[in-house]
Chains A and B, each alone.
Chain A
Amino acid sequence: MNFPLNMKLKPKGLTGLLRGTMFAATVASLAMMAGMADAQTLRAVKHSDLRVLDPILTTAYMSRNHGYMIFDTLYALDENLAPQPQMVDTHTVSEDGLTYTFTLRDGLMFHDGAPVTGADVAASIARWGERDGMGQVLMSFVDSMDQGGSPNEFVINLKQPYGLVIDSLAKPSSNVPFIMPKRLAETPSTEAIPEQIGSGPFKWVADEYQPGVRAVYEKNEDYVPRSEPASFAAGGKVVKVDRVEWVVMPDDQTAFNALQAGEIDYWESPPSDLLPILEANPDVTVKNLNALGMQTIMRPNTLNAPMDDVRIRQAAIASVNQKDVLDALVGNPELYNLCGAMFVCNTPLASDVGSETLVKGNGMEKAKALLADAGYDGTPIVIMHPTDVGTLRTQPVVVAQAMRDAGFVVDLQAMDWQTLVGKRASQASIADGGWHMFMTNWVGADVFNPLVNNMVNGKGPDGGWFGWPDVPKLEELRTAYATAPTLEEQQSLAEEIQKIAYEQGVYAPIGQYFVPSAWSNNIEGVLDAPAPLFWNISKN
């Protein structure tokens, strides 16, 4: 609150004293009220803008994060990556392993006041199962799915036993199986849901949503959190602020200044070059919240010559040294990890099989030998280079140089990310605008097992992921993984999948890195999680 500098109070006698006292008290109380009101609003700068509000229609991480605010999930992963019930109270499995019966917790209500029923759950899971890779695998095992005997029961009948039912329902990243009202879940999965009604801990404030400017959520007073403490995405979702605002700030320097000036409370992904300054600020905390980090990858297109030759793909992968990529991309060795595990290091399925040259950076001679063996004729390798995304513009340059050093001729084509997104879907030949290779980044939780990791899909041009490797053995092993009854068998199968994926050159992780978040010390309780979560956070 500002007053003119030349304002003068002239108390005269008792009346003046009283007036002065009342004035001072009013100012103090107004200031306190302003402070209290402000303390209940958490302002956060996210990594991007929220554009698509349907977290099932798209895999965009901002849409997933939005989903975590207003929707709830049946299960969620805890800090040990173990699925824990969230909306579910109990579940039973029939002796033959074919029928799963779930009972929902009492008191679950959508934001429009309607109770959450098994019918809502069935419709939501069906819609998610149409879009999500792991959901599609689950649905291939499902015979039927519907509300049970009572409204808060939900039953899945399987065609054959499937060991990953609960893991599927606890999938932590895009697409997350969020539960929405049946009337919304019946929207075709290729169209956006018309309303933002969930049963999650926050409500969507539609009137204040301005794409490119801000998204606003308010506390759902009717939400009944679980009694367990919050852990990763699991446990009690206790909301401790009245309102959360996601403020869009396209300029990192602005966000940096705003955090230090106290205009925002939380910054999801500050660039690594600003971290040392933030770490030196005693009023700011800097911490990596996602232990799985990000996996940056190179993906060859197996359809276009010469990348259709496995030796050429192997040569490209062998030429790359993860350390070079990560030094250029991240710089600070404390924020990256040399990691050849396709299913991410520090997870139950982590393995270093097949990744020696990437991690040790000793594959250049092997790459040259492979190129000679393949009779590489100098055909330029088209690498798509997205120059508008800070976390993607470095890798193509480093990889291109490594490949040139090995003897490749590289055509590094600069473009914006959205052009790349459109172009990578094309199976056209190079002459018709096709491509040979691109790089992208994945959140660890999106690649940490063979079912969610799109790159080890071996279905080929019909049903495979961009690059389309046709490796039936991979599909065989992924199916076996889906039905493997024990962790040991899953680990063994995952390792075999990784071995074949490297042998076939279907893709290569070119490093694991971490993106710490920064927040003002006036907030507490920020959770380590697979996505930025805003429950459990209090503001002083």
Chain B
Amino acid sequence: MVLYIVQRILAAIPVMGFVALFVFLLLRLTPGDPAAIIAGDTATPDQLDAIRESLGLNEPLFVQFFSWIGQLLQGDFGTSILSGKPVLELIADRMEPTISLALTTIILSVLIAVPLGVIAAWKQGTLIDRFVMLLSVLGFSVPVFVIGYLMISAFSMQLGWFPVQGFKPLGEGVGQFFHRIALPTFTLTLLYIALIARITRTSMLEILGDDYVRTARAKGLPERKVLMRHALRNCSVPIITVIGIGFALIISGVVVTESVFNLPGLGRLTVDAVLSRDYPVIQAVILLASLIYVVINLLIDIAYVLLDPRIRYA
């Protein structure tokens, strides 16, 4: 297992290298010039050239690439072309809202969706099952921004229970933190409930027809034990996969939710950087997102082994 983890970590290095090269080239080949953005409407060609020179954009591409890689290897992600702030600082500022939203959403979704999925499978074809499936279809079909606006309209504008927008760090008080993160969490949770509940239901339906479940019931085990210990545990692999990917998706940035609730997360940082061609920021954020995917995939693989002893890695 340890060998497997080491191998996976080593395998991630060329993956990250390829992502770095791909992102770098993609940005440089995309139309748009950060120097022109900074210089504005009245800059002369000479001034534009001087700005490009000061930003190092006049260097040949391979010089720019290796210079960036060299910085990365020293832990330096560079500085934002526009604001002049260190990229690492910009990302660090955006991590707390993003991680907070990811954790609250995933925890709440799992707490609601897994039992719902189990019950829907157990009571297949009943009203409960249909309700869960309806919820699932709604969660998938209604755009997140619509759910967000409806939430704001009901719980902020009409009832006044929650603020319309913004984020408060946990350090400024637990109450304030949850007060602000609640509505975006509820909004995203609807989507993730739909996803996780559906996968749970489908997996459970497959398992509930297996012989060993019939045997467990024949032994006279309580239905709760049959469902939770024998059935659910054995169908946890696809559920864990979906939860892991869902978590990675939120960490990589949920731009629409962040915009609707004005959360200063990584998604907005990425979009802002792309729109303003802030190369160092875009490169760093995409590398970070790739790293998150690699790590979460690794964690999912490790979780498989813990949940299903039949799975072995060479």
Contact = CB atoms under 8 A, between A and B. Distances in A.
Interface of A: 2, 49, 51-53, 57-60, 130-133, 174-175, 188-192, 209-213, 247-251, 253-254, 257-258, 260-261, 263, 388, 415-419, 421-423, 425, 454, 463, 465
B83 A51 contact: yes
A450 to B, nearest CB: 14
A49 B80 CA distance: 14
Contacts of B165: 249, 254, 257-258, 263
Nearest to A261: B164
B163 A261 contact: yes
Interface of B: 30-33, 36-45, 47-48, 50-51, 53-54, 80, 82-85, 90, 93, 149, 152, 156-157, 160, 163-166, 175, 259-262, 264, 268-269, 272, 275-277
B32 A421 contact: yes
Nearest to B49: A190
A184 B40 CA distance: 20
A224 B270 CA distance: 42
A263 B275 contact: no
22 contacts: A51-B276, A52-B82, A57-B39, A59-B40, A130-B47, A131-B47, A174-B42, A190-B39, A190-B54, A192-B84, A210-B264, A211-B80, A212-B269, A253-B260, A254-B152, A263-B164, A419-B30, A422-B31, A422-B37, A422-B277, A425-B48, A463-B44
Given A131-B42, A416-B32, A421-B36, 9 more contacts: A53-B83, A191-B54, A250-B259, A254-B152, A257-B152, A257-B156, A421-B37, A422-B31, A422-B37
B264 A212 contact: yes
Contacts of B157: 257, 260-261
Contact of B259 (A58, A175, A213, A254): A254
Nearest to A212: B272
A388 B152 CA distance: 25
Given A213-B264, A418-B32, A189 B47 contact: yes
A210 B82 CA distance: 12
A263 B166 contact: yes
A415 B32 CA distance: 10
Nearest to A440: B41
B47 A190 contact: yes
Contacts of A59: 39-42
Contacts of B269: 212
B311 to A, nearest CB: 43
A254 B260 contact: yes
A211 B261 contact: no
Given A58-B38, A257-B165, A190 B152 contact: no
A254 B39 CA distance: 31
B84 A454 contact: no
B42 A465 contact: yes
A133 to B, nearest CB: 5
A422 B42 contact: no
A388 B30 CA distance: 16
A52 B83 contact: yes
Most chain A beta-carbon contacts within 10 A, residue among B83, B93, B276 = B83
Contacts of A258: 164-165, 262
Contacts of A210: 90, 93, 264
Given A191-B54, A251-B260, A257-B152, A211 B40 contact: no
B41 A465 contact: yes
A490 to B, nearest CB: 21
A130 B51 CA distance: 13
B128 to A, nearest CB: 32
A418 B47 contact: no
Contacts of A261: 156-157, 160, 163-164
Contacts of A53: 83-84
Nearest to B269: A212
Contacts of B149: 253
